């Protein structure tokens, strides 16, 4: 039986093989990290700016950590549709006629914290950025092009922003004390609807 000697590997071929192997693992790790990065960052920012730990966030992170391949496949499928890679809602813009009055509602009454890192002096109008968990509300002191009268009595039938909270009854008692009108969810969910000083509809839904 003839014995064929294996050709010796050159230094360049070994280096190329190692580089390709390293690139593969780096790409795989990047995909894995990216698929879980959003959920982990949401929890970190939520703890930093509004230190409330929700069990549903922990469950989402656990599921993402134990089903990396599934998450990566779904991520790839979504990217294949449009290529933009939607991650989350970054902020919601809300118009207000009086920034000071709106801050008394959002910051003073609801307890939202101002994001001082966001620039407020680079825009030709007044405004403030407020943390809502890991996302934000941008209050913009600008004329409102929409009618402020004749809106639906129930905010759930109007354009509205929904904010997740821990205790609807506590917020309800605050609204009662401050004389702020509100309606409850028509479906029986633990949710309450109210309007800010400019009539913008807000929903507050209780999460476990």
Four-way CATH pick for 148-208: 3.10.28.10, 3.40.50.2000, 1.10.3720.10, 3.10.180.10: 3.10.180.10
- The tokens for 163 are 């904010």
Q: State residue 122's pLDDT score.
A: 86
SS3 of 95, please?
A: strand
Q: How many residues does the chain have?
A: 208
Q: State residue 153's pLDDT score.
A: 94
For the cut 80, the answer to whether the pLDDT of residue 12 exceeds it is no
For the cut 70, the answer to whether the pLDDT of residue 182 exceeds it is yes
Pairing between β-strand 191-195 and β-strand 91-96 as defined by DSSP bridges: unpaired
Q: State residue 43's pLDDT score.
A: 52
Q: CATH 3.10.180.10 in the chain, residues?
A: 88-145, 148-208
Instruction: Show the CA angle centred on residue 162, arms to residues 158 and 164, nearest 5°.
Output: 155
Q: State residue 148's pLDDT score.
A: 83
- Name the H helices within 88-161: 99-103
49 falls in which pLDDT band (50, 70, 90)? Answer: very low
Task: Look at phi and psi of residue 50 and say left if phi exceeds 0, alpha if psi is from -120 to 50, else beta.
Answer: beta
Q: Which fold has domain 88-145?
A: 2,3-Dihydroxybiphenyl 1,2-Dioxygenase; domain 1 (3.10.180)
For the cut 80, the answer to whether the pLDDT of residue 10 exceeds it is no
Mean pLDDT over the full length of the chain: 77
For the cut 70, the answer to whether the pLDDT of residue 133 exceeds it is yes
**pLDDT tens-digit profile of 102-128?**
999 999 999 999 999 998 788 999 999
Range 49-54 average pLDDT: 46
Instruction: Show the CA angle centred on residue 169, arms to residues 165 and 170, nearest 5°.
Output: 70
Q: How far apart are CA 131 and CA 115, in angstroms?
A: 6
């Amino acid at each position: 039986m003839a014995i064929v000697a294996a050709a010796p590997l050159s230094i360049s071929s070994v280096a190329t093989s190692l580089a390709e192997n390293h690139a593969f693992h780096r790409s795989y790790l990047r995909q894995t990290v990216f698929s879980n990065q959003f959920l982990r960052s949401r929890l970190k920012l939520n703890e930093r700016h509004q230190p409330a730990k929700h069990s549903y966030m922990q469950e989402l992170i656990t599921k993402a950590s134990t089903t990396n391949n599934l998450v990566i496949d779904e991520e790839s499928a979504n990217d294949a549709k449009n290529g933009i890679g939607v991650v989350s809602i970054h902020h919601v813009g809300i118009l207000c006629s009086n920034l000071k009055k709106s801050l008394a509602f959002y910051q003073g009454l609801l307890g939202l914290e101002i994001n001082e890192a966001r620039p407020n002096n680079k825009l030709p109008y007044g405004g403030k950025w407020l943390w809502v968990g890991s996302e934000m509300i941008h209050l913009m002191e600008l004329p409102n092009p929409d009618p402020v009268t004749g809106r639906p009595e129930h905010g759930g039938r109007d354009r509205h922003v929904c904010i997740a909270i821990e205790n609807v009854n506590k917020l309800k008692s605050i609204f009662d004390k401050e004389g702020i009108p509100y309606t409850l969810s028509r479906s029986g969910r633990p949710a309450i609807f109210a309007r800010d000083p400019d009539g913008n509809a807000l929903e507050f839904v209780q999460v476990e």
